A and B are shown apart, each in its own frame.
Chain A
Amino acid sequence: MISIKAGKQLSSFEEKSEFVDLAFPLMDALFSTALRLTRNQLDAEDLVQDVYVRAFRFFAKFKRETNFKAWIFKILMNTFINQYRKKKSEPFKVQIDSAVHGLRVEESTQTFFSAFASVAPENLFDDEITASLESLSDDFRLVVLLADVESFSYKEISKMLNCPIGTVMSRLSRARKQLQIQLQEYGVNAGYIKSRERD
């Protein structure tokens, strides 16, 4: 957690250098998240630039005793939701309830964590994980990225997305399940997992 002492009067120059010290180390994380959200390099670059400019403009409002990373990620989420998501057509959505409920528990889980054990993980998955993440709806992808990739708490995520903690947990649960299903399908198709039909 990045935080700094409160109650400090800063000159314009000090404020700028403080902002640079706090914000610039997070550029890779913000860019990665932006890229995974927009699924487009140019949009991601524009989004990150917008986030930095907005964060700098409103830096005076940042409460020094709070988490800067959470603060700037909230700006990222707001900017994405308000500007970029509107531009894009909604991504392909899976009816998660039917998809998940249609799968028997033992079928969905028995092989997932062991099926890929025989395959070197570094040779697998990156494209599939990316594709699976991209196939999630924005709401699901947001919580997965914030919780599992950036390790924010549910409370922080609920503040960023302006939704109750229960909703965060619900979305996260469904998103992980959807990812499991998709990766399992990939495993079956690639021959890493034997499906029931093939058995």
Chain B
Amino acid sequence: MSEQEKIRQLLTGYIDNELSEANRCKVEKMLVEQPTLQQDLEAEREMKSLLKNRCTPMKCPEYLNMRIKRKISREKKSSLFEFIGTMFEYRPVAAAVTFATISTLIFLSGYQFLSTNIDFPFIKQRGMSKGVIIGQIICVDCDVFFRTGMEGTHNTEVHRLGLKARNGSVWTIMSGNGGDRSFTLNHNLLEKEARLTGYIFQDSHYILANDYELL
């Protein structure tokens, strides 16, 4: 760097009030000793002032303003995708491990869920819980006739099995074993004590039996 250029840089710093005290004194001394430097100083000051005054901010177009506002308002919604994208971009191993872990968990959860053989239309029913009921296997239709004293009959070849719990409550049995209805139509089970395991729908008094054990 030439001496002239060093001086010019010092003048620039002096104009912008960015010099250390020592350099400021140095410049002021040079300005006294070299009158032509004063002209350089004024010229550069003029240039700075000119740029400041003439390069005024231009108005940003209104449509750009609106576009940016829209973009930002949408930004939060896509932040999850952005985060995932960022992860894949910068931490591919961590992202792959996370992805594999989440996929495995989802698979295992789904597998465990499906292995219960629940009939899907009932899944959303309120008040469902898994449990065990012990009681006597009865025909719910016959029980209705018996309880109410109604006269009449139902098709006795198709008894609908239910369970009369020890507290007297009656539960209609549905087959939970993949829709195998042989259990619910097995008349040989009538009047027998059994322990039923499955999903209990408390609101509708149904039990989706996955397993039973005769006592």
Contact = CB atoms under 8 A, between A and B. Distances in A.
8 contacts: A16-B76, A24-B65, A45-B64, A52-B71, A53-B75, A133-B55, A148-B51, A172-B12
Nearest to A155: B18
B76 to A, nearest CB: 6
Contacts of A179: 47, 51
Interface residues of B, number: 43
Contact of A176 (B1, B12, B68): B12
B2 interface: yes
Contact of A32 (B4, B58, B64, B76): B58
Contact of A28 (B18, B47, B48, B57): B57
B29 interface: no
Given A27-B60, A45-B61, A105-B36, A129 B71 contact: no
A180 B50 CA distance: 10
A12 B5 CA distance: 52
B28 interface: no
Contacts of B57: 28-29, 31-32
Contacts of A172: 12, 16
Given A53-B72, A101-B2, A129-B54, 20 more contacts: A16-B76, A24-B65, A27-B60, A28-B59, A30-B60, A31-B58, A32-B57, A35-B58, A56-B75, A57-B75, A57-B82, A109-B42, A113-B42, A129-B50, A147-B16, A148-B48, A170-B9, A173-B11, A177-B44, A183-B47
A125 B57 CA distance: 16
Contacts of B60: 27-28, 30-31, 48
A125 B51 CA distance: 10
Main secondary structure of the interface of A (DSSP, over half): helix
A148 B59 CA distance: 19
B119 interface: no
A182 to B, nearest CB: 11
Contacts of B51: 129, 144, 148-149, 179
Interface in A27-53: 27-32, 35-36, 45, 48-49, 52-53
A151 interface: yes
Interface centre among B36, B60, B61 (most CB of A within 10 A): B60
Interface of B: 1-2, 4-5, 8-9, 11-13, 16, 18, 36, 39-40, 42-48, 50-52, 54-61, 64-65, 67-69, 71-72, 75-76, 79, 82
A9 interface: no
Contact of B64 (A48, A153, A169, A183): A48
A187 B76 CA distance: 53
B4 A112 contact: no
A90 interface: no
A29 B57 CA distance: 5
Contact of A49 (B9, B44, B64): B64
